Amino acid sequence: MKKLSHFLIIMVLLVITCNTGYANVNEPIRVAGDINYPPYEYLDENGNYKGFNVDIMRAIAIELGLDIELIPMNWDQALGALRKGEVDAIQGMTKSEIREEVFSFTLPLITNSQAIFVRRDNTYISNVKDLTGIKVAFQKDDISYELINNNNINIIPIVKRDQPAAIDALLSGEVEVFVGNRLTGLYYLQKNKKLNEIKIVGEPMYVTEYCAATLKGDKEILNLLNSGIDKIKTNGTYDKIYKKWFGETFDRDNTYWKELVHYTLLGFIAALLAIMAIGYWNRLLKKEVHKRTNELRLQKKILDKSNRLRGNILESIVSGIIAFNQKEEILISNSFAQEILNKELSPGISWGALDLDKILDDDGLRKALWGEKWRRNIQIIKEDGEKHYIDCSIAPIKGPDEIEGAIVHLHDYTKEKQLQDIVTHNDKMQALGKLSAGIAHELRNPLTSIKAFVDLIPQKLDDNIFREKLMEIVPQEIQRLDGLVKMLLDYSKPKASKPQVVLFNNIVDEILGLFILKLKNMDIKVINNSSPLSIWVDKSQIKQVLINIILNAIDAMNQGGTIIIDGYQKEDNIYIIITDDGHGISEDVIEKVFDPFFTLKKHGYGIGLAISHQLVKENGGDISITSTIGQGTQVVITLPHASNRGGKTHE
C-alpha cells in the first residue's frame, strides 16, 4: 500500500512538472524592459523595478513555473539587445507594420495610444499638421517618431533617452511639443504635480496593441509568453494587475469630467434657448420664404434675359460655332454654322449623325475631348458648285476637374482668299516688271560694248590695235551675256534637288580648299567650328549656296579680317552660321539682298543671293541675314537634319 502511495505521488509530481515547467526551458528567460517608462516599467527612487509590464512578467513566471530574468535598460539599448540576441524578449512594445518585419508580437497586453503634449499657454498647435517646423521631443526609437515620419511632417526632432526626459524638455522650454505615450505622459505629470502646466491637444494618435515581443521566428519563447498571458487573463490575475496600474484616470482634478459637465450644461441651456426661439424663427421663416421666392423669380427673369443675350451674341458672331458635350452631342450652335455646313443643327444631334467625319476630320473632335487643340483648312463644295475655303479649329471646353466638351469654330475665308490671290498676282506682276527692268539693264551693258565695236569696224578694220581690242572685248562681253543667261535660267527654273545624307564639315573643308590662296593673299582668317553634322540636302546646291556666301564675306573685307563658320543641331534642324567682320550692310537695303539684280558690288549681277535663297528653299530650309555697318554681317541657314530620312552618307 505504501509503495502504491509513493508511486502515485511521483506520478502527480511528474504531471505537475510537465504542465508548468515546459521541460525544454532549463535556462532563465532574459526579458528586457525600459528603465524609465512609467506606469509600464521604471526604476523607483530606491532602485526597485516596477510597473504594469513588470507585474505581468512576474505573474507569467509564477503561472508557468518559469525563471524569467527582468533586465532594465534604456529603450534603444533594449531594442539593440533583442536584435543581437542578447535577450530573449522585450516585455512591452507598441505594435506597428515596420516593427512586425523584425519582431514577433504576443497577444495584446493593453490597447495603447500616442498623444501630443504642449504647454498650457500654447494656442497655435491643435493637431499633428501644426507641427511643421516645430521642435518636438521624442524618446529615442519610440513609435511616436515613426508615426510622425509616416505622416511626412517636417519637424525639428529633439531625441531624448526616455519619455520623462522628453517631457522635462517640454517643461523647461527646450521644445514646444512632446509626442509620446498618453498614459506615460499623464502619469509622470501627475506624479511630479505638473498637470496644471501641460495639456493634451488633438485626437489620440495611433491607437494600437501594446504587446511583449520576441525576435521574428522565435516561436518557442513567443508560445510560452502567449500561454502565460492567456492563463493570467483566464484566472483573473491580469484584471488585478490592470486595476492596480490603470484603475484610476491619470487626469488633472477630473478636468475631463468637469469640462464634460460644463459643456453639457451649456448645451442644455442652448437647447432651451433654441426651443424658445423656434416660434419666433418660424414666423421669420415664412417671411424669408416669401422674400426668397420673389428673389428667385427675379433671378429667373435675369437668367432668361442673360440666356437671350448669349444667344444673340452667338448669332452675331460672323463665324460658325458648334459646342459638343462629352457624348459628342450638340449643346448649342449658330446659324452661320448651319449655313457653312449646309446642315440642320439642333441640340442633341450627334457628331456621327451629321456625318461631320467626312467634312472635317474623324480625329478632330476626339482629340479636343482629350484636351488637345486641332486646326485645319478645309474646302467645302456648295450645292451650286461654288468652292468655299474654311478655317476649322476645334478646342476643348475645360471644366474645373475635367474636359466637359469641345467647341468647333468655322471661319469662311473665301473672300479673303480671293482678295489675297489678287494681291499675290499683282505682286508677281510687279516683281516681273522689276525683274524685266533688271534683265534689260544687265543685257544693255555688254550689248552696248559689242554694238560700239561693230559700228567702228568699217572705219578701223585695218587698225591692228582696234582688231586686238575687238578680239579681246567682244568675246568677253558675249561670255558675260552667256553667264547671265545661265544664271537667269538657274533662277527661273532651278534643277530639282536630289537630297542625300551629307556631312556638313566635309562640304566646308572642300569649299575652303578652293579659297585657300585668295584667303592667304587677303590676310583673311577663317575659324572653322563646323562638326560632322548630318544634313539632308542636295550636296551640289548647298555647296553653291555656301560658296556664294563665303565669296560675299571675302568681298566685304578689303584687307584682313575674320570669317567664323559654326554649326549646331536643335531638334530636327541643323543651323549653319557664317559671320564676317566686314563693312556690313545698312538697314535700308538689308531687306533687298535676296532680290534679283540687287547688288552693292561694283562688278556683279546681283543674282547670287537670289539663287542661294531659292536653293535653300528648294532643300526644305530657310536663310536670313543680319548686319551692322562697320561691324559685319551674319548669315543663318536652317536645313533639315538627316534623321529619319534614310539614305547613305555622302563623304
Same domain, yes or no: 513 and 598: yes
Residue 222 maps to a domain: no
Which of 412, 446, 479 lies at the terminal end of a domain, its last residue?
412
Q: Give pLDDT tens digits for 381-407.
A: 877 778 888 888 888 998 888 888 888
Q: Which residue has the higher pLDDT, 267 or 247?
A: 267
What does the pLDDT read at residue 254?
44
Same domain, yes or no: 185 and 204: yes
Rounded mean pLDDT, 217-237: 93
Task: Name the pLDDT band for 4 (thresholds 50, 70, 90).
Answer: very low
What does the pLDDT read at residue 252?
40
Residue 280 maps to a domain: no
What does the pLDDT read at residue 293?
84
Residue 109 maps to a domain: yes
Share of the chain above pLDDT 90, in %: 21
Is the pTM value of this prediction over 0.85? no
Residue 462 maps to a domain: yes
Rounded mean pLDDT, 575-599: 83
Q: Which residue has the higher pLDDT, 396 or 11?
A: 396
Rounded mean pLDDT, 604-610: 71
Helix axes 464-492, 608-618, angle to 10 degrees: 30
Q: Give pLDDT tens digits for 483-498.
A: 666 655 555 555 666 8
Same domain, yes or no: 514 and 613: yes
Residue 364 maps to a domain: yes
Residue 16 maps to a domain: no
What does the pLDDT read at residue 433?
54
CATH number of the CATH domain containing 541: 3.30.565.10
Same domain, yes or no: 442 and 406: no
Q: Give pLDDT tens digits for 512-542.
A: 877 888 888 888 898 988 778 888 888 888 8
What does the pLDDT read at residue 13?
41
Which of 379, 412, 445 lies at the terminal end of a domain, its last residue?
412
Rounded mean pLDDT, 609-629: 86
Sign of the dihedral defined by the CA atoms of residues 115, 117, 120, 123, in that order: negative
Task: Name the pLDDT band for 59 (thresholds 50, 70, 90).
Answer: very high
Same domain, yes or no: 509 and 643: yes
What does the pLDDT read at residue 537?
86
User: Which range among 43-47, 209-213, 253-257, 320-324 shows the weakest confidence by mean pLDDT?
Assistant: 253-257
Sign of the dihedral defined by the CA atoms of residues 471, 474, 477, 478, in that order: negative
What does the pLDDT read at residue 436?
56
Q: What is the mean pLDDT of the chain?
A: 80
Same domain, yes or no: 447 and 462: yes
pLDDT over 50 at 7, yes or no: no
Same domain, yes or no: 335 and 386: yes
Q: Are 163 and 180 in contact (CB under 8 A)?
A: yes
pLDDT over 70 at 8, yes or no: no
Residue 37 maps to a domain: no
Q: Give pLDDT tens digits for 89-111.
A: 999 998 988 889 999 999 999 88
Q: Which residue has the higher pLDDT, 302 or 55?
A: 55
Number of structural domains found in the chain: 4
What does the pLDDT read at residue 9?
46
Taking CA atoms, 67 is separated from 87, 99, 227, 339, in Å, by: 14, 27, 15, 99
How far is 490 from 322, CA to CA, in rounded Å?
50
What does the pLDDT read at residue 572?
82
CATH number of the CATH domain containing 196: 3.40.190.10
pLDDT over 90 at 613, yes or no: no
Burial class (CB in 10 A: 0-12, 13-18, 19+), 33: buried
What does the pLDDT read at residue 68?
92
The string of DSSP letters for 420-488 reads: HHHHHHHHHHHHHHHHHHHHHHHHHHHHHHHHHHHHHHHHHTT-HHHHHHHHHHHHHHHHHHHHHHHHH
Same domain, yes or no: 506 and 625: yes
Range of 482's domain?
417-492
Query: ∠428-432-436 over CA atoms, to 5°?
Result: 175
Q: Are 606 and 583 in contact (CB under 8 A)?
A: no
Q: Give pLDDT tens digits for 116-161.
A: 999 998 888 888 888 888 899 988 878 877 777 777 778 888 988 8
Share of the chain above pLDDT 70, in %: 82
What does the pLDDT read at residue 424?
54
What does the pLDDT read at residue 112?
80
* Alpha carbon distance, N-terminus to C-terminus of the chain: 120
Same domain, yes or no: 602 and 634: yes
Same domain, yes or no: 448 and 461: yes
CB proximity list for 208: less than 8 A, separation 6 or greater: 94, 95, 96, 111, 112, 113
Q: Which residue has the higher pLDDT, 438 or 496?
A: 496
What does the pLDDT read at residue 441?
52
How far is 387 from 563, CA to CA, in rounded Å?
53
User: Which range among 174-178, 206-210, 464-468 shows the weakest confidence by mean pLDDT?
Assistant: 464-468
Count the helix, strand and coil residues of the chain and give each as a percent rounded to the nearest 5.
Answer: 50, 25, 25
Which of 453, 476, 492 lies at the terminal end of a domain, its last residue?
492
CATH number of the CATH domain containing 367: 3.30.450.20
CATH number of the CATH domain containing 488: 1.10.287
Rounded mean pLDDT, 539-546: 84
Task: Tally Cβ neighbours within 10 Å of residue 314.
Answer: 16
The x, y and z cell numbers of residue 7, run together, are: 508511486
Helix axes 504-514, 539-555, angle to 10 degrees: 50
What does the pLDDT read at residue 2?
45
User: Which range among 262-271, 274-283, 429-438, 536-545 shows the weakest confidence by mean pLDDT?
Assistant: 429-438
Rounded mean pLDDT, 359-378: 78
Q: Which residue has the higher pLDDT, 300 or 600?
A: 300
Residue 194 maps to a domain: yes
Q: Which residue has the higher pLDDT, 530 or 640?
A: 640
Same domain, yes or no: 351 and 469: no
The C-alpha cell 428673389 sits at 295
Same domain, yes or no: 461 and 403: no
What does the pLDDT read at residue 168?
92
Task: Name the pLDDT band for 371 (thresholds 50, 70, 90).
Answer: confident
Q: Which residue has the higher pLDDT, 326 or 648?
A: 326
For the chain, the maximum distance between any two Cα atoms, rounded to a whole number of angstroms, is 178
